[in-house]
Amino acid sequence: MRATALGIRFALELCVLASLAASAAHLAVPILGQALLGIVFCAAGAAVWGTFLSPKRKYEIGPAGRLVLEAGFFAGAGLILDNLGWPALAIALVVVAAADRIALALIP
């Protein structure tokens, strides 16, 4: 059961990175700029996630800090998706992320 929740968690992390790339793709800049910004946005998001939230993180910010940062990532991704005109996808992402967080907290 925990393996399934962790698999869902990984898919959600990829969704966050995809939302960052989508935000870059909708900027009013040339296509090359959009591609470069998409790479930068994804790399920055992955770097922050890996540094503070991954199981092999370099810095410990405590459970409350991780929860706040994680919630910020998923809420931010939801806001990006809503702003891009995909409100149903935004709601689904946030609801699944919250349910997965609860499942991971309850499953030993």
32-41 per-position pLDDT tens digit: 999 999 999 9
Contact by Cβ (8 Å): 53, 68: no
User: What is the number of alpha carbons within 13 Å of residue 74 lying toward its C-beta?
Assistant: 22
Percent of the chain with pLDDT over 90: 95
44-97 per-position pLDDT tens digit: 999 999 999 998 999 999 999 999 999 999 999 999 999 999 999 999 999 999
- Specify the pLDDT at position 55: 87
* Residue 3 tokens, joined: 């393996």
For residue 108, name the pLDDT band (cuts at 50, 70, 90).
confident
Sorted by sequence, the CB contacts under 8 Å of residue 84 that are 6+ apart come out as 22, 23, 26
Containing domain of residue 88, as a range? 2-106
Question: pTM here?
Answer: 0.90
In this structure, how many other beta carbons lie within 10 angstroms of the beta carbon of residue 80? 21
Integer Rg of the chain from CA: 15
**What is the number of structural domains in the chain?**
1
